[in-house]
Amino acid sequence: MNHFIAPSILAADFANLQRDIEMINQSDADWIHVDIMDGMFVPNISFGFPVVKAVAKHAKKPLDVHLMIVEPDRYLQQFKEAGAASITVHLEACKHLHRTVQAIKELGCKASVALNPHTPVASLVDIIGDLDMVLIMSVNPGFGGQKFITNTYKKIKELRMLASAENPDLIIEIDGGVDQSNVNNLLNAGANALVAGNSVFSAADQLNAIKQLKNPLKS
């Protein structure tokens, strides 16, 4: 099964965003991961619509928008209009998750739900069939460059199992601390989409860092 790579522009150089988007355009990456933080759901603020629109203008790959915001329903349409191809909301931020997921689909976006490290995979049991993707946080959301939490492997396996009957095509995306050292283990556990911020943008050769994640040497 081929996997998707989504470099996170949270780690890009915001003063040279067009240059960094063009690097991703030329790379083996599949999507561009866009982290939206509101200072409420997570203890950090990233950027908003003007930046997403500016990214969309130059991007040749779909925007994978990760909303770390409270009550994301308020802004779904605006993110669609700003260029989102997929929208991920946090389970912990939604009172009526089923309604939110349907609203994302009605906009024509891929619908995805994110789980914080403490949130059990089993909490998705009654919605798994409605989802295009689940994003498992492998760090606590809010910041790039954090250490990967190894309990993630167990969660990926549980989620693959949970999805096997009802939603075998479910995309399982991993976000946080992904680099060359854990890519094989993540894929072997059943993940098929990987977000990478620091491991791409702090590399001397960014194109090569993406290539290594897309075509890892088998360990």
Q: CA 142 to CA 201: how far, in whole Å?
A: 17
175 near ligand DX5, judged by CB under 6 A: yes
Contact characters 36-75, ligand DX5, x per CB under 6 A:
------------------------------x---------
With CB cut-offs between 5 and 8 Å by kind, which of Zn ion, ligand DX5, none does residue 10 bind? ligand DX5
67 vs 124 by CB, closer to Zn ion = 67
Q: CA 44 to CA 18: how far, in whole Å?
A: 23
What 3-state class would DSSP assign to 136? strand
175 near Zn ion, judged by CB under 5 A: yes
Residues 30-49 that bind Zn ion (CB under 5 A): 35
Concerning whether 132 is annotated as a catalytic residue, the answer is: no
132 labeled part of a ligand binding site: no
89 vs 168 by CB, closer to ligand DX5 = 89
Concerning whether 175 is annotated as a catalytic residue, the answer is: yes
Q: Which residues contact 205 (CB under 8 A, 6 or more apart)?
A: none
Q: CA 65 to CA 148: how far, in whole Å?
A: 21
What 3-state class would DSSP assign to 80? helix
Contact characters 128-157, ligand DX5, x per CB under 6 A:
-----------x-xxxxxx-----------
- The label of the residue with tokens 């995309």 reads 171
Q: What is the layout of strands, in order, in the sheet containing 110-115?
A: 4-7, 193-196, 171-175, 133-137, 110-115, 84-90, 63-68, 32-37
Residues forming contacts to ligand DX5 in the complex (CB under 6 A) are: 8, 10-11, 33, 35, 66, 139, 141-146, 175-178, 195-199
Point out the residues that are catalytic.
35, 175
